[in-house]
Amino acid sequence: MAVRTLKKRAEFLRLRGGARFATPSFVLETRPREQGSDGVEEARFGFTVTKKLGGAVMRNRIRRRLRAAVSAVAPRLARAGHDYVVVARPAAYDRAFAEIKKDLERALQRVHHAAANPAAGRASERS
């Protein structure tokens, strides 16, 4: 599946304060998109890999690994009409790819559970 991506800074900033879940590999944030904002219903993803994580080669490898995990998991678990931002953490570089996919599956399930139950607060797990 080709991943639709967020491109503009305003799109990334709009997701701040939404449902959030932290894993060892990344932090996932999401919010539903406003109705009729761009006429597209499928989920969109943005990837943030800061310079703190390393040089360009390392950052691009992390981005490719996260994008591949999203391509594998998102068709089943991402919700149409939602935007997601994946903020990379250092473990994303050398963590087993199967573990990254498991982290993403758990994160997608938890952010939607947290969004459905606002009393539960912000979901976060550090394992």
Tell me, what's the pLDDT at 125?
A: 47
- CATH number, domain containing residue 38: 3.30.230.10
Write out pLDDT tens, residues 25-39: 999 999 998 765 556
d(CA 103, CA 72): 12
* Assigned domain for 13 exists: yes
Q: What residue numbers bound the domain in which 84 lies?
A: 4-117
* Assigned domain for 93 exists: yes
* Assigned domain for 122 exists: no
pLDDT, mean of residues 97-122 = 82
Confidence of residue 49 (pLDDT cuts 50, 70, 90): very high
Tell me, what's the pLDDT at 119?
A: 56
Confidence of residue 124 (pLDDT cuts 50, 70, 90): very low
Q: Tell the burial category of 86 from Cβ atoms under 10 Å away from its Cβ (0-12, 13-18, 19+).
A: buried
pLDDT, mean of residues 70-95 = 94
Structure tokens at 111: 């952010």
| Total domains, the chain | 1
Confidence of residue 41 (pLDDT cuts 50, 70, 90): confident
* Assigned domain for 12 exists: yes
* Assigned domain for 69 exists: yes
Structure tokens at 117: 């139950």
Tell me, what's the pLDDT at 111?
A: 92
* Assigned domain for 73 exists: yes
